[in-house]
Structure 1
Amino acid sequence: MHFDSGYMESDGLPPTIPPPKWIHKVSCYNPRLVHDMNAVEDDIVSFGDVIKFFMLLLTTFLTLTFNTGFFIVLNSEYYSPWIKSQPKYLLGFLAINDLANGVLILGFGMYPAMFECWPYGQFFCQIQALIHGALTQQSALIFMILAAERYMVSVYPLIYSSACSSKVCIAAVILSWVFSVSLYSMIILPADGFHFNVNGLMICEPFYLSNNVLIVTSCLFYFPTTMALMYTYGTIFHSTKVRARYKKVVFSTFPRFAAGDAAAKQAEKIFKQPTF
């Protein structure tokens, strides 16, 4: 972190991205709050700050409530028999990710949202930026794992149980967390790899020191996730249509071959009935 200036040199950054404010410049314990009366007057809580505080409080409450409720329903005795353990684990990990985001990220942003300063110190700011980046990246990876699991159960049902067992899914989630933490550790742990976002949610976020790092992280976050979701769910949709067409052919030809036209018409009526 720089301690001689409130801003970092913007060399290598796009002209549309302003240089960040480092955490010591917006600390609630900055000496300027004691010696500079103008700064004290500027730090008086305004009506807009109160609105931001309650909006963040509401967002945190809804995040915790909905994800806790989803996790309880997902593991309830009523719902458990209707879903396999593999997607249940993956959806549960997504809910845990959002819960951690609500507690560790949004929850600690309410005080800064009201007073527009960071009271928790430089080390916690660095840790929060690391957790925020890692949780965001891991959520994208879990969506990819879930898409791959749905792909296997739809396209390769015969080898699904062995190739996508519960242990394999849990191991994939653990590896995705290790990858996410390792990636953002390389970005954030060096000096100046994080900053306090005074223009957003008033939380600490990763700061990309060069365009190359920004491009790499953006590509890792958007491109693999988008391509995996498009390919897997597109293939699932196509295979489902082919399977339905195959069933229709079987229902219309085999009964006619075995028992005549009357049986074939009865089979077609059964096939056309809606299924839930």
Structure 2
Amino acid sequence: MTSGDLPPLAAVRICYENLTGSCVKTPYSPGPRLLLCAVFGLGAVLAVCGNLLVMISILHFKRLHSPANFLLAFLAGADFLVGVTVMPFSMVRSMESCWYFGQTYCTLHSCFEGSFCYASIYHLCFISLDRYIAITDPLVYPTRFTASVSGLCIAFSWLLSVVYTFSLLGTGANEAGLEDLVSALTCVGGCQIAVNQSRVLVNFLLFFIPTLVMIMVYSKIFLIAKQQARNIERMSNETARSSDSYKDRVAKRERKAAKTLGFAVTAFLISWLPYFIDSVIDAFLGFVTPTYMYEILVWVAYYNSAMNPLIYAFFYPWFRKAIKLIVTGKLLRENSSTINLYSG
């Protein structure tokens, strides 16, 4: 190839024109760029607004103050923070193939991403255990899963997630043994976080163990719910005592809540499992995942933060009523916090 065959240097676009060692910039053409902007932007807006509505609903309306709903509120908090601190910056990175927010926030961005993911899965795990207790013994449940127990579950979820993720990425322990690779990948305008094989296995176990617990618990829940449904059907033509009738109504409500949260768990697994599997494969095969595939997996995972409020809106009548009160401004009326969202 002669020098005349070489592409002109000006044809190569870089993130920072005036800096040496800048990353190569490969932005999308206007059509795909507009589509990606709409998809990414919609996810961020849904994650922020939807989860904010969940938190406001549970924290404002007193009838929604329950240990189980507090878990839901803090789960929504994790998803809300993904929409605020992670998705907007990832949106720019995905569309521009450049990181314009500095190396310090690159590390923080990855810490936030990991912390809120783990916080979500441990909240979901505790919620599944809460539903199991509610289904198996609905009359004793209020004395077993109290506000203090819920608080301990919330504190454990956040402390484990934040302390582990920040200690891993903040100290650089994730890059141990990968110094040459990290040095080769480092350029101005890039934000690549490499995780070595031992740490990626720990990451996967922290994801897999609560996932396994949830699968086992929900399997038992649906078996029990199926048995309860048969029992209620068998007793439908018989005269039941009032206490039995009350127990059946409570059990029916708890089964519906368990079904709703079962959808939330399934959505979480569909969103995050491919990402975690790829991270393990990538670490052992030398980080061979193409950039575009990585971005797809990441955004599928991010979209989980936008899905939970949609699930609640579809299955929870009280959430739909709360949204209506909030958007119509009735939330600002005196004594609005005492409205019973469970009625009619």
TM-score scaled by length of structure 2: 0.53
CA contact (8 A) 1:147 1:232 kept: yes
Residue equivalent to 1:209: 196
Pair 1:99–1:248, CA change in 2 (3 A): closer
Distance (Å, rounded) in 2 between the aligned partners of 1:30 and 1:89:
51
Alignment of 1:15-30 (within 5 A): 28=16
Q: What is the match of residue 234 of structure 1?
A: 219
Q: In structure 2, what is the equivalent of residue 156 of structure 1?
A: 137
Distance of 1:240 and 1:203 partners within structure 2: 50
- Are 1:220 and 2:206 matched, yes or no? yes
Q: Unaligned regions of 5+ residues in structure 2, if any?
A: 1-13, 176-181, 257-344
1:71 equivalent in alignment to 2:35: no
Give the fraction of aligned pairs with identical amino acids, expressed as a percent: 22
| Match status 1:86 vs 2:67 | yes
Deviations 1:97-156 (A, max 9, x none): 111000100122343344332122111111111111011111111110000001111113
Q: How does 1:46-125 map to 2 (within 5 A)?
A: 46-47=29-30, 48-75=32-59, 77=61, 81=63, 85-125=66-106
1:150 is paired with a residue of what secondary structure?
helix
The answer for the alignment partner of 1:147 in structure 2 is 128
CA distances 1:62-81 after superposition (whole Å, capped 9, x unpaired):
2222222333444564xx64
Question: Does the residue aligned with 1:129 lie in a helix, a strand or coil?
Answer: helix
Tell me by how many angstroms 1:49 deviates.
Answer: 4.2
Letter in 2 for 1:229: M
Residue 3 of structure 1 corresponds to: none
Q: Give the secondary-structure state (helix, strand or coil) at the position aligned to 1:87.
A: helix
Once residues 236 and 176 of structure 1 are traced to their aligned partners in structure 2, the CA distance between those partners, rounded to angstroms, is 22
Larger relative CO (CA 8 A, sep 6+): 1 or 2? 2
- Provide the rounded CA distance (Å) in 1 between the counterparts of 2:26 and 2:218: 51
Letter in 1 for 2:81: A
CA distance in 1, matches of 2:88, 2:75: 18
The residue that corresponds to 2:113 in the other structure is 132
Quote the offset at 1:89 in angstroms.
0.8
Task: Report the AA paired with residue 52 of structure 1.
Answer: L
Structure 1 residues 228-237 or 186-195, which shifts more?
186-195
Distance 1:27 1:203, change over 3 A: closer
Q: Report the AA paired with residue 215 of structure 2.
A: M
Give the Cα–Cα distance (whole angstroms) in 1 for the partners of residues 190 and 97 of structure 2. Answer: 10
Q: Is the 8 A contact 2:68 2:130 kept in 1?
A: yes
Which ranges of structure 1 fall in alignment gaps of 5 or more residues?
1-25, 256-266
Give the aligned residue type for 1:128: H
Cα separation, 2, equivalents of 1:156 and 1:222? 28
SS in 1 for 2:172: coil
Q: Provide the secondary structure at the position in 2 that maps to 1:32.
A: coil
Residue type of the alignment partner of 2:206: L
CA contact (8 A) 1:63 1:98 kept: yes
Go from structure 1 to structure 2 and tell me whether the alpha carbon gap of 1:149 and 1:33 turns closer, same or farther (over 3 Å shift): same
Within the candidate set 152, 155, 159, 1:178 is matched to 159
Deviation at 1:203, TM superposition (A): 9.3
**Separation in 2, partners of 1:27, 1:138:** 34
Higher helix share: 2
Aligned partners of 1:129 and 1:204 also within 8 Å: no
* Alignment CA distance shift 1:203-1:241 (3 Å): farther
Looking at structure 2, the residues matched to 235 and 138 of structure 1 have their Cα atoms a distance apart, in angstroms, of: 24
Deviations 1:152-187 (A, max 9, x none): 111133542233111211221111111112221232
Checking the alignment, whether the CA contact within 8 Å between 1:134 and 1:180 is kept in structure 2 is yes
Amino acid at match of 2:46: L
Q: 1:233 to 1:44 in 2, by over 3 A?
A: closer
Deviation at 1:240, TM superposition (A): 2.9
- Structure 2 residue identity aligned to 1:240: A
Secondary structure of the residue aligned to 2:99 is: coil
Considering only CA atoms, is the larger Rg found in Structure 1 or Structure 2? Answer: 1
Give the equivalent residue in structure 2 for 1:13. Answer: none
